[in-house]
Amino acid sequence: MSAPIRRALVASPTNPARIAAEELANLYDWVPVEQADMVIALGGDGFMLQTLHQMLEARRSVPVFGMNLGTVGFLMNEWRLDGLDQRLARTRPFKVSPLSMTARTISGETRVLPAINEVSLLRETRQTAKLEVTVNDRIVLPELVCDGILAATPAGSTAYNLSANGPILPLGSALIALTPISAFRPRRWRGAILPEKARIGITVLEAEKRPVSAVADQREIRDVARVDIEIDHIRDLTLLFDPEHALDDRITMEQFVA
């Protein structure tokens, strides 16, 4: 006889999530996150990303089943109080491979941060950024004049990437979207779809005159000189979804939203 699955409950500090957590706490047995085999997260997409990042920082990955008590809830399932055991028994798992961003600043500092949705580079001043872009150490854009550029995972392709007119990537497609933000030169470059094994390098040209910041999801590093981006399969994460609200289906249908 197998041991029962140990579950942890985490919730956003918002009032709806806090109330829902109190209701669930009275119906089921829970353990601390560090002892859990599965995590139930209550909140919105932002709280889900926060929960996943905490797992990355702790270097401990267990499946996460989110229920939406936020705004959009793209990464979440529908909130329902009853029938949690039955829902969890029917869930579909989806692997999410985060990006690893290695950023070197003008001053010589190097920092490595994970990104579940995207890594974005953004100009810090009114002057446009000038960027050299390489793929697998080959220069593909000697000079991109723009407001910035981003690299998005399939899970993050419907977030900032979509707002910047980047492509929607099906989950499991093993692809990375490389999308310019308000490109001025070359005018006709609209981005690229790269295999997930690609290593992306972005060097900031005239870095002191045209300062650029790098953001891994919500964590920002200012005044970067160079950023290297690649998929980090060692730190794969698992999201759980109701069969009728599977993430791959939702990503596909986003292509038809007016």
Candidate list 29, 45, 137, 236, residue with the active-site label: 45
CA distances from 142 to 36, 129, 205, 214 (A): 48, 13, 10, 19
To the nearest 10°, the Cα dihedral for 92, 242, 58, 230? 60
- In 3D space, the residue among 54, 60, 13 whose CA is nearest the CA of residue 36 turns out to be 60
Joined tokens for residue 161: 């990437």
Distance CA 204, CA 208 (A): 9
Q: CB burial class (10 A; 0-12, 13-18, 19+) of residue 197? A: exposed
Buried b (16+ CB within 10 A) or exposed e, 139-167: ebbeebbbbbbbbbbbbbbbbbbbebebb
* 223 catalytic residue (yes or no): no
- Residues classed as catalytic: 45
